[in-house]
Amino acid sequence: MKKTILSGSTVTGDLTLGNYIGALNNWKNLQQDYDCLYFLADLHALTVMQDPKVLKERTYSFLAQYLALGLDEKKNIIFVQSQVPEHTQLAWILTCLTPMGYLNRMTQFKEKSEKHVKNINAGLYTYPTLMAADILLYQADLVPVGEDQRQHLELCRDIVGFFNNRYGEGTFTLPEAYVGKMGARVMSLQDPDKKMSKSDENEKNFVSIIDDPKKIEKKIKGAATDSGTEIKYDVENKAGLSNLMTIYSVLSGKTYAEIETAFAGKMYGHLKVELADLVVSTLKPVQDKYHDLMKNRDHLDSVMKMGAERARVRATSTLKAVYEKTGLVL
């Protein structure tokens, strides 16, 4: 029996090189050996202000980006969160089991409520209980998430404990974090102390996978680096340069030592030019496929429909067991 993997991405912004290197590139390699479900977290997107038209358009765009990046809708179950209503049904039950004290500790809530002072809604606060429902509905064994989502996954494991204490064991699989072999974290281009984030309001901080070649070039050439000259991987003293080297290393398959040798005696500018070319050429086939997919909405609709149907078979079976345990009449 293959182990089940589940992961998702909030439908905000456009996928970045960070999402590609830290998440989707790994997901693609897992589709052979695991039973995989990948979804678009549109309900999680509602925790911050969304323009309805943009959200809808973006959901199609994200699906096309997933497919263009190489996720296969036949090998994996790819679906949109809001099209499987069991997510919100289970989320409510889990919310009622989760002490506020646990939610108070979540650093993402603290960060996001500082960032969105005018919209600190209850959904932003209970975000992790919906995320727990996403995972537990599918009995996922492994969840590939970046460092930033570790705390939410830990809380999900705690929630399984709360459920088991109240209702007895055996309903949910206890999920674990899946740490990819590379596990690279891509940092912001202008502020390499924080991670590259697709919802960053300064677009110079990220490269989106659907940015056109000129934009990519401009953003990479404009990336903040220190005033030194030697091309050397040193996160402490050369955070910006090291971040560019991480991207170079993942995309080219070269080690840091090999990159240092190849660029010995050269300037940061040389690395930036080569990196920009590498990013553009890596993304070219992805972008071509993306634009083709976006021209065919009917196809995207049918991929969503098929994904939701397949996901619901599993989701309803878990929810049925939860109803039985909790005393809700089915």
134 binds, among ligand ATP, ligand LTN, none (CB under 5 to 8 A by kind): ligand LTN
The answer to the question of residue 186 lying near ligand ATP (CB under 6 A) is yes
Bridge-partner residues for 10, per DSSP? 41
Query: Which of 47, 129, 197, 243 is the binder for ligand ATP (CB under 6 A)?
Result: 197
Listed ranges 94-102, 143-151, 212-220, 226-234: which one lies at the site for ligand ATP (CB under 6 A)? 143-151
Interacting positions 9-38 with ligand ATP (CB under 6 A): 9-10, 12-13, 16, 18-19, 21-23
**Distance between CA atoms of residues 58 and 62, nearest Å:** 6
The answer to the question of residue 244 lying near ligand ATP (CB under 6 A) is no
**Could you tell me which of 38, 159, 144 has the C-alpha nearest to residue 106?**
159
Nearer to ligand ATP, 69 or 294 (CB): 69
**Distance between CA atoms of residues 231 and 222, nearest Å:** 17
12 binds, among ligand LTN, ligand ATP, none (CB under 5 to 8 A by kind): ligand ATP
| Catalytic sites, residue numbers | 112, 195, 198
Residue 243 in tokens:
């971040």
Minimum Å distance from CB 255 to ligand LTN?
28
Size of interface with ligand ATP, in residues (CB under 6 A): 22
Are 40 and 63 contacting, i.e. CB atoms less than 8 angstroms apart?
A: yes
Query: Which of 81, 82, 149, 249 is the binder for ligand ATP (CB under 6 A)?
Result: 149
Where does this chain bind ligand LTN (CB under 6 A)?
6-10, 41, 44, 131, 134-135, 143, 145, 149
179 in the Ramachandran plot: left (φ > 0), alpha (ψ -120 to 50) or beta? Answer: beta
Nearer to ligand ATP, 22 or 128 (CB): 22
Percent helix, strand and coil across the chain, each rounded to 5? 55, 10, 35
Burial of 143 (0-12, 13-18, 19+ CB in 10 A): buried
Beta strands in 50-137 (DSSP E): 77-80
The answer to the question of residue 198 lying near ligand ATP (CB under 6 A) is yes
Nearer to ligand LTN, 138 or 263 (CB): 138
Minimum Å distance from CB 236 to ligand ATP?
19
186 binds, among ligand LTN, ligand ATP, none (CB under 5 to 8 A by kind): ligand ATP
**Could you tell me which of 191, 146, 179, 178 has the C-alpha nearest to residue 3?**
178
Give the 3-state secondary structure of residue 87: helix
Alpha helices in 137-267 (DSSP H): 150-167, 213-221, 239-252, 256-262
Nearer to ligand LTN, 188 or 225 (CB): 188
The answer to the question of residue 145 lying near ligand ATP (CB under 6 A) is yes
C-alpha dihedral sign at 70, 72, 75, 78: positive
Which positions lie near ligand ATP, rule CB under 6 A? Answer: 7, 9-10, 12-13, 16, 18-19, 21-23, 145-146, 148-149, 185-186, 195-199
